[in-house]
Amino acid sequence: MMNHDRIVAAVQMGSGPDWVANQAKASRLVEEAAARGAQLVVLPELWRCYGPLAKAANQAEPMPGPITDSFAELAARLGIVLCAGSFAEQSPQTGKAWNSAIVFDAAGCEIARYRKRHLFDADLPPIGSSTSATGSSPQRLRESDSMLAGDDVCTFSALGITFGLAICYDLRFPELFREHSAAGAEAILLPAAFTYATGRDHWQVLLRARAIENQCYVVAANQGGEHPGGLRSYGHSAIIDPWGEIVAELASEEEGIVLATLSAARVGEVRMRLPALKHRRD
The gap from C-alpha 167 to its chain's centroid, in whole angstroms, comes to: 5
Asked about 168 being catalytic, the answer comes back as yes
Catalytic residue among 49, 83, 154, 168: 168
Domain 6-277: assigned CATH number: 3.60.110.10
25 in catalytic set: no
Among the listed residues 108, 85, 66, the one whose alpha carbon sits nearest the alpha carbon of residue 192 = 85
Alpha-carbon Rg for the chain, nearest whole angstrom, is 18
The one catalytic residue among 49, 89, 116, 154: 116
**pLDDT reported for residue 54:** 76
- The reported pLDDT for the residue numbered 53 is 75
Q: Residue 17: its pLDDT value, please?
A: 83
pTM higher than the cut 0.85: yes
pLDDT given for residue 58 in this prediction: 80
Nearest-angstrom CA–CA distance, 38 and 31: 9
Task: Give residue-wise pLDDT tens across range 222-269.
Answer: 999 998 888 899 999 999 999 999 999 999 999 999 999 999 999 999
Could you tell me which of 46, 43, 22 has the C-alpha nearest to residue 33? 43
Question: Quick one: what percent of the chain has pLDDT higher than 90?
Answer: 80
Q: What is the predicted pLDDT for the residue at 261?
A: 98
Instruction: Label residue 128 by pLDDT band (50, 70, 90).
Output: low
Cβ-Cβ contacts under 8 Å for 178 (sequence gap 6 or more): 213, 214
Q: State the burial class of residue 191 (Cβ atoms within 10 Å of its Cβ: 0-12, 13-18, 19+).
A: buried
Q: What is the pLDDT of residues 64-79, one digit of tens each?
A: 999 999 999 999 999 9
